[in-house]
Amino acid sequence: MDALLIEIGTEELPPRSLAALAAAFADNLLRGLVDAGLADAEAASQWFASPRRLAVRVPGVREQAAARQIERRGPALKAAYDANGQPTRALLGFAQSCGVEVAALETVETDKGAWLVHRAVQAGESLAAALPRLFDAALKSLPIDRRMRWGNGEHGEFVRPVHWLVALHGSAVLDLTRFGLTAGNTSRGHRFHHPQPVVIEHADRYEARLAAAHVIADFAERRARVAQCVESAAHTLGGQAVLDDALLDEVTALVEWPVAIAGAFDAGFLEVPAPVLIAAMRDHQKYFHVLDAHGRLLAHFITVANLDSPEPQRVRAGNERVLRARLADARYFWDTDRQRPLIERTAALDGVVYEQRLGTLADKTLRVERLAGLLAGELGADAAHTVRAARLAKADLLTQMVGEFPELQGVMGAYYAAHDGEPEPVCTAIREHYLPRQAGDALASTREGLALALADRLDTLAGIIGVAGTPGGDRDPFGLRRAALAVARMLIEAELPLDLPALLDAAAEPFNKPGLAAQVFDFVLDRLPAYYEAQGFLPDEIDAVLGLKPGRLLDLDRRLRAVADFRRLPQAASLIAANKRIANILAKAGAEAGALPVDASLFESPAEGALAQALAAAEAHAAACLPRGDYAALCERLATLREPVDAFFDAVMVMADDVARRRNRLALLSRLHRLFLAVADLSRLQG
């Protein structure tokens, strides 16, 4: 078995989606090969990606899949023949569809009766025959928002125009014609360093042949090369480069042969706030910025060229010239914006539409002010500072700096507020109210910042869901999923014991839509499974807690952690099984399992009394644990119920004929079930 290599050569691909496209292509193709029996289930693929190519190599691919036994089930035996023993139309049609006579069919007995089946040996598909189909299926499932057509459009569509194809099985060229091209063993090297064709004589030689043509095909290897050359250039400058992961990925996707070039800018620009300079370099020019030993920004940058220029000084000068113009604009915006206090800009928010049905940014500001004031009291924040920050929070959207650098909203507001003499807590809250900006981002560090950040997200969720509903599919133009996750993270990670439904009632009040708060609450809870699964919690653990829909997410978090610890105990499996049994018994009993008092005089077995005694002790323990949210301690106590519960079910028939005894036992189980529900619905755990 040889390695299969497929390469799609294109015009420059979108850098931000390059790695995702390559990984998806590799996964899709490997899955197809495994399903076709051409690769083993444990096979792995390796993907390659550069600005002008997507490629995948799968080792150990068969030239021909092994034959396999197939079985098709036809009609039931009782429906296959009529009263005279003649084949029915259903049987004749089935035999015809299988290409055999009725006599060739076999009868198989199952727990649902006898059926006629057709068994045959299907010849394995060859790689040559399967590849076009597998290739098309792999491309069809790629995460491409918009596909391009080129030329007269008759050769299909892809994310960018395709100029060459490579399809190799070992050293053999496979027959594959797509995009108006016939696949071969000829790739292309670096656009400038090696524009001539590159022959790939064997799939295993792919990286080596391209490396000789000034192309580092392996994305991870190229990323490491970018990081190394940038760090080396920064060290030469006497500083340390900031290797932002997103920028590192994007630069890696822009180059095939990375070469770092250090440049400089006028130190006078350092008077402009560092975040502005960094945004200009990182976000706009794709440069890496450099810090000194004390973490201060140096008047240097590092760019990564896609070629080893014989005149690097000209490349450096060109980049310095471009950056100088952008920094000059930034300094002009900085000087101009400070000529008007932020508070004067708030009146103009009335002219900026937030959402047609929700009014202007001024309307949103008033709603957020009200909510932030309420939250300040709940969080112990300074109410005056919180409300003042809410009033100013959106004003920097009207500044020239944020107009040019929208990613600095909030950040520039804090700088301008400080320039205006606003108190430090107000400035900090303005800067922090956009946090977290994305998954994994830091939360606001101050109570005022948390109050304002929560108020802003809650108003967005209630307002947009109120007029547009929850987002469906992949579309989420208002970032509602991100806002909901931000709310959950703040309540959980900042350990805020707030009642989310009550907060949502307050946020939904201005919109006067019945059921809105409950709709938003469910939307926030829907974000939690992915959040917790990323932390290693199991789906059934999450489901057991979410089933109770706790209103305080900090409380929900404590319950979940207690459940995860509980199921690791040796007693857990037995108690989980008992919980399922109890839930089923109570469900079948219906109204008879009402909340009746347990009467000890009706006990017949010592096991009933032992369970009642252990249950009473556990309930007393729960009464002490629940007010302080100590679910871990409660779960440890619940584990001690294993023996009396097991003994109860071994010795007692719950659904006895005697009505009084039956109801008494159901009442005992109802109490036990309610006690476990004080933590989570453990009956949802999968053993």
304 assigned to some structural domain: yes
Q: CATH number for the domain including 429?
A: 1.10.3210
Q: Is residue 368 part of a domain?
A: yes
Contact in structure between 74 and 80 (CB atoms under 8 Å): yes
In a domain, 135, yes or no: yes
Provide the pLDDT for residue 593: 66
Q: What is the mean pLDDT of the chain?
A: 93
Domain shared by 32 and 151, yes or no: yes
Same structural domain, 46 and 190: yes
Higher pLDDT, 249 or 145: 249
Do 376 and 485 belong to one domain? yes
Instruction: Decide: 451 and 376 in contact? Cβ < 8 Å.
Output: yes
Domain of 11? 2-65+126-211
Give the H or E element holding residue 296: none
Residue 519: CB atoms within 10 A of its CB come to 18
Residue 204: count other Cβ atoms within 10 Å of its Cβ: 16
With a pLDDT cut of 70, the percent of the chain lying above it is: 99
- Could you read off the pLDDT of 341-380 as tens digits, one per residue? 999 999 999 999 999 999 999 999 999 999 999 999 999 9
Within-domain flag for 29 = yes
pLDDT at 594: 67
What average pLDDT does range 522-529 have in this prediction?
Answer: 96
What is the arithmetic mean of pLDDT over 586-591? 80
Q: Domain boundary residue among 181, 211, 241?
A: 211
Q: How confident is the model at residue 596 (pLDDT cuts 50, 70, 90)?
A: confident
How many domains does the structure of the chain reveal?
Answer: 5
Residue 537 lies in a domain: no
Q: Which residue has the tokens 């499932």?
A: 141
For residues 508 and 655, membership in a common domain is answered with: no
- Say if 46 falls within a structural domain: yes
Residues 572 and 602 in one domain: yes
CA 539 to chain centre: 15
Residue at which a domain ends, from 281, 305, 337:
337
Task: Let me know: does 280 contact 409? Beta carbons within 8 Å.
Answer: no
pTM: 0.82
Q: For residues 528 and 542, give the distance between their C-alpha atoms in angstroms, rounded to a whole number.
A: 8
Kindly report, residue by residue over 159-169, the tens digit of the pLDDT: 999 999 999 99
Residues 83 and 11 placed together within one structural domain of the fold = no
**Residue 297 placed within a domain:** yes
CB distance 383 to 373 below 8 Å = yes
Q: Are 478 and 504 within one domain?
A: yes
Residue 578 lies in a domain: yes
Tokens of 70: 């197939």
Arithmetic mean of pLDDT, 150-162: 87
Number of DSSP helices (H) and strands (E) in the chain, helices first? 28, 18
Mark whether 183 and 280 lie in a shared domain.
no
Q: Based on the fold, state whether residues 76 and 136 are members of the same structural domain.
A: no
Give yes or no: residues 189 and 303 share one domain.
Answer: no
* pLDDT at 489 exceeding the cut of 90: yes
Please check whether residues 491 and 586 belong to one and the same domain: no
Residue 423 has pLDDT above 80, yes or no: yes
Are residues 133 and 118 part of one domain?
Answer: no
Domain finish residue from 211, 231, 262: 211
Residue 521 clears pLDDT 80, i.e. is over it: yes
